[in-house]
Every structure is written in structure tokens, then in C-alpha cells.
Structure 1
Amino acid sequence: MGTVSPQGSASEPLECGFDLDEEIRALVLDSAPRMFAVVQETDLAEGVTDAEVVAWGIVHEDGPVDVIGANGHTARLRSPERALWWYGDKKGERARLVWLGPAGAAALDHPVAVR
């Protein structure tokens, strides 16, 4: 996990051009975990398939994957593909991973909380 320089205040850049807010936004975007949905497809009839999001997952930078199902069940897995086994192991059902695109923006919530 990265850090930002303690120089300057959260509200104004230093004269040297350092903008702490911009550094924080960049840090957050660079270290954000990858997110995915587990979508379960069910065959209802010949040629008729339904789909629903049954779980959400987060892939952490250091490797583990946390998955939370729509029913509240949580699991820590070795890979996103392991979630497919949990949610696609029934006759007539298949699970797919749907990856969310990378975040492109981050906003700071002002004012900064101070203790």
C-alpha cells in the first residue's frame, strides 16, 4: 500500500506545485481492489434462460478474494474462478464472472475529519 507525502494541507497545494488532494486521489485509484459480480444463469425452458447477480467479489492486491452472496454468505477464496464452483454447480445453472471496469474518478469528502 502506498503513502502520500505529509507536506501541505488538504485544502491548498504547496508553492512547489504539490497537490495533496490530487496525490490522495491517485493513491486511491492506484490501490483500489478489482471488483466483480457473479451472475448465475438458469435454464427455465428450452431456449429460455434467466440471469441474476448472486454475489459480489473483491480481489485484493495481495491475492485473496472476498465474496459476499446475495443471501449474506461470505467466503474468502484463492481466486475469483473459485466462486464459479460455488454458484454454478447445479444442473441447469451456470455461473459467470462479470468484471467492473477500472475506476476513473475519485472525489474527496471535505472537510477533512480532525481529532
Structure 2
Amino acid sequence: MTSAIDNQADDPNLRPICGRARFTELVEALVADFTPQMFAVVQEYGDCLDADIVAWGIAFENRVEVIDVSGGLRMSLQSPERALQAFQTDGDFTTHLVWASPEPNTQRP
């Protein structure tokens, strides 16, 4: 994949737009503004009896990438709701999308 920068990288007239510290701040802000959202596809059994994460997804601005937890299924979809549809089951299971928060809610040993 070629970026717009590739066509200008050898231009001898290019000068830094600011100092290193400020540039680092700008790049970090850029990453924060465009970080995709992560979600889990969760299957709940019964009425609050049990639940299992069956897939993880990343929602970009114009698409969603999903991989099941076993690694055997990967999907590129138009929306998170499409991932939900792909993991729907019959019987006593209800499938949910759960958006991941940036901070973990539990500590691992």
C-alpha cells in the first residue's frame, strides 16, 4: 500500500513542521482520533446462566474485521451487526455485541 507521503519523501525542499516533542504529540492525537473500536461477540446461555466470547471484532470507519476465538473463521463485514447475525444460534442462546472498554475491568493473575 502506498501513502501520499511516499511520493514526497525524496523532496529536498521538505522541512519538519515542528520539533520532535510537538510532532510526537500530534501523532499521538492522530492515533487517538482514529483508533478503531473493539467489540466481542458474546453468546449468552439461558437467562443469566452463562456466557462465552465467541469472536472479537474491530470496527473501522467503513468496515468491520472479525475473527472467532478459535482462529478458524475470519470475516470482513460492513457493520458489527453483520457479525452478530453470523453468530446467531437457535435454542437457549442469545447473541450480543459487547463494546470493549479501553481499561480492563478485572485483573489477571
Normalization by structure 2: what TM-score? 0.70
Match of 1:71 in 2: 70
Whole-angstrom CA distance in 2 between matches of 1:74 and 1:59? 14
Q: In the TM superposition, what is the alpha-carbon distance from 1:89 to its structure 2 partner?
A: 2.2
Q: 1:13-45: per-residue Cα shift (whole Å, max 9, x none)?
A: 4xxxxx0111011000001111111111113xx
Q: In the TM superposition, what is the alpha-carbon distance from 1:90 to its structure 2 partner?
A: 2.1
Q: 1:24-82: per-residue Cα shift (whole Å, max 9, x none)?
A: 11000001111111111113xxx562101111111112x11110101111111111011
Match of 2:12 in 1: none
Match of 1:29 in 2: 32
Greater helix share, structure number = 2
Match of 1:80 in 2: 80
> Structure 1 stretches (4+) deviating beyond 3 angstroms?
none
Equivalent residue letter for 1:98: V
Equivalent residue letter for 1:79: S
Alignment identity in percent?
A: 42
- Matched residue of 2:30: which SS? helix
Q: Is residue 7 of structure 1 aligned with residue 30 of structure 2?
A: no
- Matched residue of 2:70: which SS? coil
Match of 2:92 in 1: 92
Backbone CA RMSD of aligned residues: 2.4
- Matched residue of 1:75: which SS? strand
- Counting matched residue pairs gives 89
Normalization by structure 1: what TM-score? 0.66
CA 1:95/1:102 → structure 2, altered by over 3 Å: closer, same or farther? same
Return 5+ residue gaps in structure 2 as ranges. 6-14, 104-109
